[in-house]
Amino acid sequence: MKVTALAAHTPEAVRAALAARGWEPQPAWFAASGLQFLLLSLEEITEAEREELVRWSVRAGVDVLTGDGWALLGGVASRLAPLARPDRVPSGLETVSAEIARFLAAYAEPPQAWVIAGGAIPLDRPGLIGILNVTPDSFSDGGRFVGVERALAQAERLKADGCTLLDVGGESTRPGAAPVPVADELERVVPVVEAIVRRGLGPVSVDTRKSEVARAAIGAGAAVVNDVSAGSFDPDLLRVVARTGVGVILMHMRGTPATMDGLATYLHVATEVAAELRVAAERAEAAGVAGERIAVDPGFGFAKTAEQNFRLLDELAAVVRLGYPVVVGPSRKRFLGAAVGRPVEDRDRATAVACALAWERGARLFRVHDVALVREALTVASATTNPT
């Protein structure tokens, strides 16, 4: 008899073991997913629900830790699944069952593509979003690409390096940044979007919090709106997105760029960021945005300390399990500089490592400055997680 440990952090090890023993690909992957260990946090549960949950967990062979108004459930997916079935759920746990069912649906069938205007971006391989700041004061490259000709030249470089989507921004959202008047932002962004689309370098995203800028950029050919405020700064922006059928990135941030550093207070950063993004996504869907067009971004560097950013990176599954494609934008951020001691212009290697870690944890879209370096890192990372 031989005993060999299999890797537990991914279903791939079980899938490969079953495939080696003659299983067909689809049932092997389904069974492997069922053996994957899941840890769920339940909040705002009643005392009666808590007691019934404890009784159910004993029968189901699921571990549970509980306290006043909360519970942590741990077990393989196949043991948690019966709790999501209406015909199996114990009396008194109907509300819990509905939420577990929602979670397991996102776990079992993660999105395969992100729908944007004019097409879709597949998620079976890394999608690279190239940052194109046309601002004089961005934290990393302010002033370098101001003007249509310089912006267009950078867009061509990013596209040649393997970028999937070009993200054009006309307002810096670095910590402490002041807002930019709409007229100035329009003047910076719209001609650049038009030129990129005319040159055939799209698709293009517009990085803006303002509905008027979004509307004009979409008219110029933008296929995505990237809103760092997740629709809270200008509520009409979500209605513009819904009416025009573009994709949208909803990013987590508290306050504004001028106030966000003072709002980095969390008891458990990953679960709180996920909960706030879930509210933002529900707000977008209520405004008429189709769920398949929504991507979410945990907002690395926005209203988060260096320690909180690293904790959020490690626990990114909390955001991934919302069921929307996840965008990450750690590129050259302060928290990476705090870790490696490098200035902003020398953080691309740290960015590549952060993106590779985020891929392993479920992110599929990566907003970066140095597309070529990150693409190489993600090629290696994705080779370990994509089954053959």
Active site residues: 333, 367
Does residue 108 contact residue 146 with C-beta atoms inside 8 Å? no
Residue with tokens 């490259």: 141
Strand partners, 167: 131, 205
Three-state SS sequence of 117-160: CCEEEECCCCEEEEEEECCCCCCCCCCCCCCHHHHHHHHHHHHH
Q: How far is CA 38 from CA 41, 72, 78, 108, in A?
A: 10, 10, 10, 12
> Tokens representing 33?
């997913």
| Contacts of range 147-153, beta carbons closer than 8 Å, 24 or more positions apart | 148/191, 148/192, 148/195, 151/192, 151/195, 151/196, 152/192, 152/195, 152/196, 152/199, 152/201
Residue 266 CA to residue 312 CA, distance in Å, equals 11
Does residue 224 contact residue 116 with C-beta atoms inside 8 Å? yes
Residue 150 CA to residue 33 CA, distance in Å, equals 48
Strand partners, 63: 74
